[in-house]
Amino acid sequence: MNISKRAFQAPESPIRKLIPLAEEAKRRGIHVYHLNIGQPDIETPRIFHEYIKKYNPNVVAYTHSAGLIELREAFKSYYKRYGIDVETDEIIVTQGGSEAILFSLAVIADPGDEVLVLEPFYANYAGFASFMGVKLVPVPTRPEDGYHVPDKTLFEERISGKTRAILFSNPSNPTGAVYSEDELKTIMDIALKYDLYVIADEVYREFVYDGLKHVSMMKMDVGERTIMVDSVSKKFSACGARIGVFVTKNKELYRSAMKFAQARLSPAMMEQYGVIGLLNLEDEYFENVRKIYSKRRDTVCEELSKIEGIVFEKPQGAFYISVKLPIDDAEGFVSWMLSDFDVDGKTTMVAPLKGFYATPNVGNSEIRIAFVLEESKLKDAVRILVRGLEKFSDIKSSLSRK
């Protein structure tokens, strides 16, 4: 029996596909520092659990397909804090930001259509696009430029009669770049000129450093072309809650997305109640979390600066840093770190970046580091990474001389 072409062609997650090597390392008694995945170690605020206990329904039932009205009201109030005015009938609660991306691609593109994406991009965009039969067309950014939005001409060179939208995350996963209002205006101008939608993934909105301010695409003058995707996973360290949102002022897009929401019935009920509590937290919560991540970022950058020949920019947002290493096989290096290297019974796992690119043979020298562990662990993890890189480079050099 055959499997579908869709399943055969779907890409593996570059973040998770090396997990078997990590599991094998652990079976050998090796401690693995996981810097490969954006799973924060910060405790989920207790109010999440308190609100679940507060509502405590006798029957765990289906909710409205768009999500509990109480939760949509909470999201409406939450966004108002950031100057984003949306109504409850412009919000669909989704099973994580992932489902919101799927809904977005499903309502704006047919199989064979194209979506421009700033590259490198969140690796699962490729999986979502493959699932929908949509082609991602990469618009490259460069580590030497801090992975910022490139000139308009690079967008225009890639637009065809099949182009339907521009997709990007801001702050960026995997690079930590934060796009300025001028950069967003570049995207806006392209969308208006070529009649395109904009899918703005703003999952890391609250994590912006060095006095910078996040600018939402919902506040740009793009009319009804914008879909905003969001999630509580990272902002509240509640990845397992799987609650996100699809937000748009375009009534036709909203009605269309609701068909998909109805087809999957509803988001999980109990988690929605918990998230109502999270959205009621004061701004002080984010001020404290930002300080934690800012210190972690500085720790990682300080340790990375000790490596000769690498290229990186201190990230302005999110909790990732993309690094270009002085080797040509980052995935081989990451695999080797798990299967053949340790320091005092410990090793470090990061994410190879080539899976965050759609352009063939690009990103082979790059990795993504998630600074999601406390500072002492991060410092040790990067120290081990540096030592591993030195030894791996020596091995490669000696093999090339034979």
In sequence order, what DSSP letters do the residues of 107-133 get, joined into one string?
A: HH--TT-EEEEEES--THHHHHHHHHT
Q: What is the phi/psi pair of residue 69, to 5°?
A: -60, -35
Q: What is the pLDDT of residue 400?
A: 59
Cα–Cα nearest to 331, from 306, 368, 305: 368
Q: What is the phi/psi pair of residue 246, to 5°?
A: -110, 120
CA distance 234 to 173: 12
Q: What is the pLDDT of residue 222?
A: 83
CA distance 269 to 257: 20
Return the structure tokens found at 267: 């988001």
Cα–Cα nearest to 198, from 219, 213, 173, 175: 219
Residues of the chain under the 50 pLDDT cut: none
N- to C-terminal Cα distance for the chain? 46
Half-sphere exposure of 395 (CA within 13 A, CB side): 13
Cα–Cα nearest to 308, from 399, 393, 380, 378: 393
Q: What is the pLDDT of residue 308?
A: 86
Domain ranges of the chain: 5-43+284-401, 47-279
Burial class of residue 349 in the structure, from the number of CB atoms within 10 Å of its CB (0-12 exposed, 13-18 middle, 19+ buried): buried
CA distance 101 to 197: 13
Fold annotation for 47-279: Aspartate Aminotransferase; domain 2 (3.40.640)
| Structure letter (DSSP) for residue 33 | E
Return the structure tokens found at 102: 């799927």
Cα–Cα nearest to 21, from 344, 339, 332: 339
Return the structure tokens found at 319: 């909790």
Q: What is the pLDDT of residue 256?
A: 98
| Structure letter (DSSP) for residue 219 | G
Class of 5-43+284-401 in CATH: alpha beta
Asked if residues 350 and 332 have their Cβ atoms less than 8 Å apart, the reply is no
This prediction has a pTM of 0.95
Which alpha helices (H) appear in 3-60, and where do they start and end? 5-9, 19-27, 47-55
Residue 150, preceding bond cis, omega within 30 degrees? no
Q: What is the phi/psi pair of residue 138, to 5°?
A: -75, 135
Helices 251-263 and 96-108: angle between axes, nearest 10 degrees: 120
CA distance 296 to 99: 30
